[in-house]
């Protein structure tokens, strides 16, 4: 809503954007207020989260406006909106904590709640302390996606199963959140370093195209069904849970035609990468113009796919290959496809920002040397946190399962993350790796962190089945 405003108003100057965003926020708050008055319950978690969503959206729009136009006054209001969002977010966490009686670390929903909070705090820290002003352009949309996902994954307060009733849960998860947030920050800083280091725009093009391609390829490869359908997990609206055929086997429904649309988008998303390949191979720069046009086209198609996905997968009943009858599905049943699609649009938009406003960005970011150094310092912070996170996890496991190390996939991947950052530090300290190579390493490290955080939970089975 508010973000859409920002994009339409792109070239405007001065106060227009601020007024637009302010009005949008006021309007939404007013609507929310009417709702609240009707229900008579002001401070519940849903309202607080909704308020956080509104403020973060406003902040995102203003940061984006700042990134595009470089108008300093946007920044002030963006920070202010972020502060308000953070307050609402903190209140939501407090409410959740009070209601459940334990810190919010026990489920994916609660982890997201804490993650978004950490992200907002880090955004303000990076902006105020290190002067990395445009960072909100990247972090706020991520926070918005996080809050939207939370609305979908909303769970009732679940009591803690016996294995999680330990002080070490809080120590372990707090350390994990801090470490992962520091890794995320080092990733963002490394990416900015590459911009400041005059890395070619077309390289970013290739990376953007490759990442969106990976998103669509993984969806199409795993979920494409016969006759162009798309498999989605069936959802039981009464129990608010996925439908299981037997233990661990979920029931899939087939949404017709979405598969074709996904495949089409896959092809268009791949086009910039192909053009880039041709430009490199034929040494012909004109292919790059095609590539940039293809990015534009791909954004349109991605938005269309997203809208279609939202419309078809939000509700409705669809047939299944494994059982007779029609079964409902819901967006909550496919949070990762949804975040993948939103993420794809977001990455492509970031590329457009880079393509159009590279000069301005260069002016707004700290110097390459500084970014390189801050990246290193962030990793110097992340590495001890990772170490402590693994150690506290091992100690807790020893208390609960009788073994401090079981080579469970999550443990193993945490160790792999640790090793990757250990390699980074060794290369940097003993081999003097600086600049590009160090930045690539920081980016690869964060990719491993993401896999440890999300990939292991959803792809590899193991003891860490709670979240």
Contact positions vs other proteins (CB under 8 A): 158-159, 161-163, 165-166, 373, 377, 380-381, 383-384, 387-388, 391, 394-396, 398-405, 407, 409, 412-413, 415-416, 419-420, 422-423, 426-427, 430-431, 456, 460
- Report CA-CA distances (Å) from 383 to 65, 377, 449: 34, 10, 12
Please state the closest distance from residue 320 (CB atom) to other proteins, in A. 22
Distance CA 269, CA 271 (A): 5
Distance CA 55, CA 80 (A): 9
Please state the closest distance from residue 266 (CB atom) to other proteins, in A. 24
Q: Which of 145, 121, 122, 153 is nearest to 45 (CA)?
A: 153
Cβ closest to other proteins, residue 66 vs residue 396: 396
Please state the closest distance from residue 400 (CB atom) to other proteins, in A. 5
Cβ closest to other proteins, residue 297 vs residue 391: 391
Please state the closest distance from residue 364 (CB atom) to other proteins, in A. 22
Distance CA 132, CA 189 (A): 9
> What does the angle CA 345 – CA 347 – CA 353 come to, to the nearest 5 degrees?
100
Distance CA 308, CA 403 (A): 48
Q: Any alpha helices (H) in 40-71, and if so which ranges?
A: 45-69
Distance CA 409, CA 452 (A): 9
Cβ closest to other proteins, residue 42 vs residue 422: 422
Cβ closest to other proteins, residue 373 vs residue 436: 373
Cβ closest to other proteins, residue 36 vs residue 460: 460
Please state the closest distance from residue 416 (CB atom) to other proteins, in A. 5
Distance CA 159, CA 356 (A): 50
DSSP H or E stretch at residue 254? strand 252-255
Distance CA 117, CA 111 (A): 10
Cβ closest to other proteins, residue 277 vs residue 455: 455
Cβ closest to other proteins, residue 202 vs residue 411: 411
The answer to whether residues 216 and 266 touch, using CB atoms and an 8 Å cutoff, is yes
Please state the closest distance from residue 391 (CB atom) to other proteins, in A. 4
The answer to whether residues 438 and 375 touch, using CB atoms and an 8 Å cutoff, is yes
Please state the closest distance from residue 450 (CB atom) to other proteins, in A. 14
Please state the closest distance from residue 13 (CB atom) to other proteins, in A. 37
Cβ closest to other proteins, residue 404 vs residue 440: 404
Q: Which residues contact 74 (CB under 8 A, 6 or more apart)?
A: 17, 18, 62, 63, 65, 66
């Amino acid at each position: 809503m508010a973000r859409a405003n920002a994009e339409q108003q792109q070239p405007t100057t001065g106060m227009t954007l601020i007024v637009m965003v302010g009005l949008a926020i006021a309007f939404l708050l007013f609507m929310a207020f009417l709702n609240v008055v009707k229900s008579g319950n002001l401070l519940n978690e849903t309202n607080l989260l909704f308020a956080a969503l509104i403020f973060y959206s406003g902040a995102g729009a203003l940061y984006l406006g700042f990134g595009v136009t470089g108008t300093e006054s946007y920044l002030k209001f963006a920070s202010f909106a972020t502060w308000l969002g953070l307050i609402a977010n903190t209140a939501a966490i407090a409410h959740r904590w009070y209601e459940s009686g334990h810190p919010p670390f026990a489920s994916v929903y609660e982890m997201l709640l804490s993650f978004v909070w950490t992200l907002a705090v880090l955004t303000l820290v990076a902006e105020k302390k290190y002067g990395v002003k445009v960072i909100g352009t990247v972090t706020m949309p991520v926070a918005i996606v996080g809050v939207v996902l939370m609305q979908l994954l909303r769970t009732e307060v679940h009591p803690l199963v016996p294995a999680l009733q330990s002080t070490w849960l809080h120590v372990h998860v707090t350390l994990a959140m801090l470490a992962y947030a520091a890794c995320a920050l080092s990733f963002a800083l490394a990416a900015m370093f590459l911009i400041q280091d005059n890395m070619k725009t077309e390289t970013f093009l290739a990376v953007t195209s490759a990442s969106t391609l990976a998103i669509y390829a993984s969806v199409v490869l795993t979920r494409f069904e016969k006759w162009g359908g798309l498999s989605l997990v069936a959802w039981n609206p009464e129990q608010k849970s996925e439908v299981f055929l037997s233990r661990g086997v979920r029931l899939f429904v087939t949404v017709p035609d979405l598969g074709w649309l996904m495949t089409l988008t896959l092809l268009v998303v791949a086009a910039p990468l192909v053009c880039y390949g041709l430009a490199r191979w034929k040494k012909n720069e004109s292919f790059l113009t095609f590539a940039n046009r293809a990015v534009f086209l791909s954004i349109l198609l991605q938005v269309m796919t997203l809208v279609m996905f939202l419309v078809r997968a939000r509700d409705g009943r669809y047939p299944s290959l494994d059982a007779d009858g029609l079964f409902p599905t819901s967006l909550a049943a496919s949070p990762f496809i949804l975040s993948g699609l939103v993420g794809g649009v977001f990455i492509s938009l970031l590329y457009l920002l880079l393509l159009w406003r590279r000069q301005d960005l260069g002016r707004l970011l700290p110097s390459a040397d500084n970014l390189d150094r801050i990246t290193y310092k962030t990793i110097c912070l992340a590495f001890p946190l990772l170490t402590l996170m693994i150690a506290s996890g091992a100690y807790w496991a020893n208390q609960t399962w009788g073994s401090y190390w079981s080579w469970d996939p999550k443990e193993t991947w945490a160790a792999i993350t640790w090793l990757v950052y250990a390699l980074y530090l060794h290369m940097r300290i003993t081999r003097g790796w600086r600049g590009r190579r160090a930045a690539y390493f920081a980016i690869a490290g964060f990719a491993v962190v993401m896999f440890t955080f999300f990939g292991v939970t959803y792809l590899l089975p193991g003891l860490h089945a709670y979240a």
